[in-house]
Structure 1
Amino acid sequence: MQTGEIKEESFSMEQKTIVEAVIDPRRARFPRCIVWTPLPIISWFIPFIGHLGICREDGVILDFAGPYFVSVDNFAFGAVARYLPLDRSKIPTLAVPWDESLRKSTVEFQHKPYNLLTCNCHSFVASCLNNLADNGRGEWNVVKLAAWVFFKGKWVDKKAILRSFSPLFVLILVGFLIGGSIFFIVWLVFSLALTGWFLFATFCFKSLIQH
């Protein structure tokens, strides 16, 4: 496994032969895919929010895992639960090679602090996809990515579904037994506040969230 600084040669565009990788969850290889796994606590309350990564053409996962740190082939917060293959032919104004787009965003985010609300793993993936467009002016943002993966993403297996949703059901059961209606009010307020922030910051003040 590799973590930390990404060497330029890892993204060399000068190779004349590229071995076409295939999706292989056992080896954590998801070429040209967005990948998702649940986050502790946050995903228990809001199951469509999780940790995102994006994969190189050889299937290796890159994810913005902390301040000034892009992880390579070591997906933070556990194994991939969902993945979404990306068809390059359906991405408009494809201007640069796939891995070159990821390399540019990786270098950029290695100099950025991590903030759950303004500069997070979704920001990194959106940046990678935006770099594919002319002048890096794509239309990807954190809300669009979250919705796209939640509705279109493929589950790795049935265990991944259980791992993603079982904490939510346990939380609801325990919360109801202990707190009753108060728990549901707190849960609703927390969920609406966090979801509302991302919607508000993304569409009303676009400069608040990195992408």
Structure 2
Amino acid sequence: MTRLIVWRHGNTDWNAGSRVQGQTDVPLNDLGRQQAVDAAELLIKFKPDAIVASDLQRASDTAAALAALSGLSITFDKRLRERYFGAWQSLTMTEVAERFPAQYAAWKAGQEVGGEVETLEALGARVADALREAAASVPANGTVVVATHGAAARQGVARVLGWSMEQVRTLRALQNCHWIELTHDDDRGWQLATYNVGPFTERPSPPPV
């Protein structure tokens, strides 16, 4: 049985301020760095065989906390980057709602936003390809940990599982430095084992943007 851990990065100042990050390269803040250390101390118990990460520094620095404990090197994959939000990036969600009311309403409803914003279909497809490739890089009974982003994790995992957009809407936002565990074997294929598991967080994370 192959185990795939899909891990959201730690907190950033833009997370804390409900500011849209998308593919902007925002670093972890002090809380995020501590979350990464705390999560790594739990994830090391899975005895990972490989670590793969988005090349954006909030994900790569999160992965580095686990690499330091495991002695593993990190493989970087640009396909694991967060959803591209176009003109939304760097704006607060309040500013998005004011400047792009129709797009914001579509986003709130879980629909495609349009404009420059990457489609959910494209996001899910590219992240799922990266997840499957990461899982194939370890032995049949191995474990790979993939450090990525909130929307990327949710859409990519849903695509791997073959879920519809309606099913994805039933999942709550993945908290900072929490993860999703998937397993795979030849008889049952991909299965969801756990969702939104991680270290204690003193304050709730905003939606993954």
TM-score using structure 2 length: 0.30
**Which structure's relative contact order is higher, taking Cα pairs within 8 Å and 6+ residues apart?**
2
TM-score using structure 1 length: 0.30
